[in-house]
Structure 1
Amino acid sequence: MSSLVAAHTRILLLEQLRVPIGLAAGALFPAVSLAAFVVPFTGDDPRAATMATASLTLFGAMSQAIIGLSVTVAQDREQPWNPYVRTLPAGPFPRFAGRILAMLAQMVLAVVPVLLVAALFTAATITPLGLLAGLVTLLAGVVPFMLMGLFIGFLLTAKATIAVSQLLFFPMGVLGGLLLPPQILPGFLEAVSPFTPARGVAELLWAVTAGTTPGVVSLVSLAAWTSLAAAGAVWAYRRDEGRRFA
């Protein structure tokens, strides 16, 4: 089974690398945002620059998790190859696991330009252990967003998925304080921010990279969102399975 998962992961990564525009967009937007909005204003503040770097790495990873995963899952469902794979003796697990692993690899690649800009042009500082802890936190923290991507991808067509995933992703990033510090958001948005999943993951990232203390409300909200997204993803998968193979 592990060899099948590895084979699917390799194939899916090659597919993405042959048409790298999605990967490039997910990687370059956070890096450009860091260069344009963080470097000139807070680039010389080590703590602020470190927190901004963590926020924008999460923003890029969220893009891959919500938009990238939902679109590829929806496109897979529309291809004749996917139903055939799901009827094989190995079942859908190898390709499904390969898709998740390939997406995680793309997220790691998307983080690199942001870290390079931060290292070269800001005063952001972090120890090797802190960097590793931040990367692990990032990969664990995108789980609820990947579940959201799966929910959308299994529920909608590829064309509808593109629009819905973008409408979900960008407001969630803004409300979560990833593009602007939460404390300078308008009053109503600042009050709503702790209840978004992006804010919960961001606070965990800020804690391991800049030594802040996560808020209880944000962490409880993150757990609730993760549970809800998991239930939605399972329901959407079973609905799709029933429609295609019942």
Structure 2
Amino acid sequence: MNALRIFALEAKYEFLKSWRLPVYSLSTLAFPLMFYAIFGLSFGNQSAGPVNTATYMLATYGAFGTIGAALFGFGVGVAVERGQGWMRLKRASPMPPLAYFLAKIALAVLFGALIVLGMTLLGTLAGKVSLEPLTWLRLFGVLLLGVFPFCALGLFFGYVLGPNSAPGVLNLVYLPMAFASGLWVPVEALPKVIQSVAPFLPPYHYAQLALGTLGAGRGENPWLHAGVLAGFTLAFLALALWAYRRDEGKTYG
């Protein structure tokens, strides 16, 4: 029970800390909602396969937003806290090391949930989005589960980048990867060369799983997408462990 209380308190204060930092909270929440309002709702009545554009982009911009919450919560958060010496203080405290990482995951999941709920409200009120409750729950569940692969990627970047370079490098990775994976416009509307690259990018598989809950995917095997994301998660967890040990070796010898 004491361990659970420690984990809960760490998650609570991680959330409060990030919520009070406009550079994280506003950008993480506002940008996906703004993009969805501009692109998803502006073309909301147009057809996107079996659903309208506002419904289609609820899945793809929801994926875009949750990826951002995971990447920047872990990538920038860990890099900045390493630079501030916060990681050394945490290590010297009696807090279980796992609590720090579980709190970061909880933060990414919670911000991802807020993004999807905000988009659902916008889509329902202004974009004629109408989903059956079970369909929406499936979409919501897939989008939140998809946080984990990108937490692993963010953790890797958090240990290999410095506090000043992390935001810029992550944006250089995040934004082109999101565009090429079909998170801003459908993959079919992208140039052929980008369409050929998309299946090698993890956000593509994440978006296809989310679209599959709406019946708007490309008809590919969902287990293939899930398998690719699972492999991606394991690969970057291994790389993050290597980067963590390298950083520990540099710090403590």
TM-score, normalising length from structure 1? Answer: 0.91
Check whether the contact 1:197–1:221 (CA below 8 A) recurs between aligned residues.
yes
Report the secondary structure of 2:185's partner residue.
Answer: coil
Aligned identity (percent) is 30
Partner AA of 1:39 in structure 2: L
Give the Cα–Cα distance (whole angstroms) in 1 for the partners of residues 8 and 33 of structure 2.
Answer: 30
Offset at 1:44? 5.2
Unpaired runs of 5+ residues, structure 1, are: none
Partner AA of 2:32 in structure 1: P
Check whether the contact 2:43–2:54 (CA below 8 A) recurs between aligned residues.
no
Aligned to 1:24: 26
Q: How does 1:180-195 map to 2 (within 5 A)?
A: 180-195=185-200
Partner AA of 2:234 in structure 1: S
- State whether structure 2 residue 165 is matched by structure 1 residue 149: no
How many pairs does the alignment contain? Answer: 246
Partner AA of 1:73 in structure 2: V
Give the Cα–Cα distance (whole angstroms) in 1 for the partners of residues 227 and 89 of structure 2.
Answer: 41
Q: Which stretch shows the higher mean deviation, 19-28 or 197-206?
A: 19-28
Q: How does 1:53-132 map to 2 (within 5 A)?
A: 53-132=58-137
Give the Cα–Cα distance (whole angstroms) in 1 for the partners of residues 66 and 45 of structure 2.
Answer: 22
Offset at 1:110? 2.3
Partner AA of 2:37 in structure 1: A
Offset at 1:175? 0.9
More helix by share: 1
Check whether the contact 1:47–1:210 (CA below 8 A) recurs between aligned residues.
no
Unpaired runs of 5+ residues, structure 2, are: none
- State whether structure 2 residue 129 is matched by structure 1 residue 135: no
Give the Cα–Cα distance (whole angstroms) in 1 for the partners of residues 231 and 99 of structure 2.
Answer: 29
Partner AA of 2:137 in structure 1: L
- State whether structure 2 residue 222 is matched by structure 1 residue 231: no
Deviations 1:74-116 (A, max 9, x none): 1111223321221334431112211221222122122232212
Do the aligned partners of residues 25 and 199 (structure 1) sit closer, same or farther apart at CA in structure 2, a change above 3 Å counting? Answer: same
Do the aligned partners of residues 227 and 36 (structure 1) sit closer, same or farther apart at CA in structure 2, a change above 3 Å counting? Answer: same
Give the Cα–Cα distance (whole angstroms) in 2 for the partners of residues 81 and 24 of structure 1.
Answer: 23
Aligned to 1:43: 45
Aligned to 2:169: 164
Give the Cα–Cα distance (whole angstroms) in 2 for the partners of residues 47 and 222 of structure 1.
Answer: 27
Report the secondary structure of 1:41's partner residue.
Answer: coil
Report the secondary structure of 1:149's partner residue.
Answer: helix
- Which of 7, 17, 20 pairs up with 2:9? 7
Offset at 1:62? 1.0
The CA RMSD measured in Å over matched residues stands at: 2.0
Partner AA of 1:132 in structure 2: L
Check whether the contact 1:195–1:222 (CA below 8 A) recurs between aligned residues.
no
